[in-house]
Amino acid sequence: MVLTFRCVKKSFIALPLLVFQLKFFMKKIITAIIVAASIFIFQSCSQKFNVAAPYKQIVVVYGILDQKDTAHYVRIEKAFLDQSKNALTMAQVSDSSYFAQLNVIIKRFDFSYNQIDTIQLNRVDMSAEGYPKASGTFFNAPNYAYKFKGLLNPNYIYRLVITNPTIGLADSAETPIINDMDNTVFTFNKLDDTDLFTNKINFASVLSGRHLDLPGTYVPPSNFSFNGYISPVGLAQVVFRFNWNDSNGSTGKITSKYYDYDLGYSALSGGSFDYQASNYELYNGLFTGMGCAPANIYRQLGPCQLFVYLATYDFANYLQANSLSGTGISGSDIQPTYTNIKGTGGALGLFTCKGARSGYVLPDVATVDSLEASTIINGCCQLHWTTF
């Protein structure tokens, strides 16, 4: 796609924003390309503005592997531009987004790049798999992806190979596997100490400098080697979830609610990460999530949860590239700013891996008392501790 113009002052092109879970990665990439083909820019200049070259298929790949999953899916679609057709009309036709024939395999290698085996991926309808497509500009059915099953081995490198036999082009990408099933490898102190009498979390004081310490580590295989890295993990993220019930004093109805306080991303140093969550910020986060209680509503705070995510260096590089180029109306690119897909087919996207752990944590007595008495929380939140 080539954009040619001389004196345009503003161009309102919305870019996709990738969040950690990447749930809408594929949809937003394709939407951005379609939107670019449908935009008119009105400025005080007379030069011709061509946004779409003749029709060209653009392969878009999305796959995030997770060792905990028993079935693994890779989305492979095509974005498109066509100077003679309306892009929004094309988005309603499944043939515009899916290839008639692809051969999709995964080759597994050890860290010395000796090939272990080959896994064939089969095309499935994600709706039948229990993952229906959200409604919107695009068609809802069919909803294809490529699937394989089996336990992911953290001692192997997984290479995705996509071949289009019709035009003889192939693309590939590789990812290591993050081991999130062994808590001696992926350690998070507040989840691994199961003695709830001695390991309850404390964030009672909101004095300056007081914080909740949340350290963790990841130990890769001793012979790990991938693209010059000594670990598959390049980034961590921790989310603190507050759970509570809204109890209606008039009707007796109880509604369960929660608020996720995102502690952000952290690079690992020597295989370790350490979050120091400010107590004051946690209190204000809880108040932000709850807001003031409506009339006759009383809050019952229950056990909290911690979610810990690990991601590869490819994902970390994507985040960095994305932040440098910018997003929104001031963004500099329409297509993704980072892709780890390589080959003759010119594919775009991300094929990588993530890991996750989660568990419940109980605040200690001092924290419970502090939350119930806090002017930050209980000024209008009607918050009380319970053990639901």
Hey, where are the domains in the chain? Answer: 25-178+312-353, 186-310+358-385
Q: Provide the strand spans (E) within the chain.
A: 56-66, 71-81, 103-109, 115-120, 122-125, 144-149, 157-164, 169-175, 186-188, 211-218, 235-248, 254-266, 272-278, 297-301, 304-311, 342-343, 348-361, 383-385
- The model's confidence at residue 135, banded by pLDDT at 50, 70 and 90, is low
- The model's confidence at residue 134, banded by pLDDT at 50, 70 and 90, is low
Q: Is the pLDDT of residue 121 over 60?
A: yes
The tokens for 365 are: 């007595």
The answer to which of 232-236, 330-334, 335-339 has the lowest mean pLDDT is 330-334
- The model's confidence at residue 253, banded by pLDDT at 50, 70 and 90, is very high
Residue 97: closest CA among 52, 133, 151: 133
Burial of residue 378, with CB atoms counted within 10 A of its CB: 0-12 exposed, 13-18 middle, 19 or more buried: middle
Per DSSP, 207 falls in state S
**How far is 371 from 378, CA to CA, in rounded Å?**
8
Task: Look at residue 165 in the predicted model and tell me its pLDDT.
Answer: 83
Tell me how far apart the terminal alpha carbons of the chain are, to the nearest angstrom.
Answer: 56
**How far is 17 from 28, CA to CA, in rounded Å?**
8
Q: Is the pLDDT of residue 21 over 50?
A: no
Task: Look at residue 69 in the predicted model and tell me its pLDDT.
Answer: 94
**How far is 33 from 349, CA to CA, in rounded Å?**
13
- The model's confidence at residue 156, banded by pLDDT at 50, 70 and 90, is very high
Mean pLDDT in residue range 264-275: 94
Q: Is the pLDDT of residue 33 over 50?
A: no
**How far is 302 from 281, CA to CA, in rounded Å?**
19
Q: Is the pLDDT of residue 191 over 70?
A: yes
Q: Is the pLDDT of residue 200 over 90?
A: no
- The model's confidence at residue 28, banded by pLDDT at 50, 70 and 90, is very low
Q: Are 338 and 317 in contact, with CB atoms under 8 Å apart?
A: yes
Q: Is the pLDDT of residue 29 over 50?
A: no
The answer to which of 34-38, 55-59, 155-159, 292-296 has the lowest mean pLDDT is 34-38
Task: Look at residue 343 in the predicted model and tell me its pLDDT.
Answer: 87
Q: Model-level pTM?
A: 0.79
* Helix/strand/coil for 189: helix
The tokens for 385 are: 């501790």
**How far is 12 from 46, CA to CA, in rounded Å?**
18
Query: Hunting for tokens 């449908």 — which residue is that?
Result: 38
Q: Are 189 and 175 in contact, with CB atoms under 8 Å apart?
A: no
Rg of the chain over Cα atoms, rounded to whole angstroms, equals: 24
Residue bearing the bigger pLDDT, 12 or 37:
37
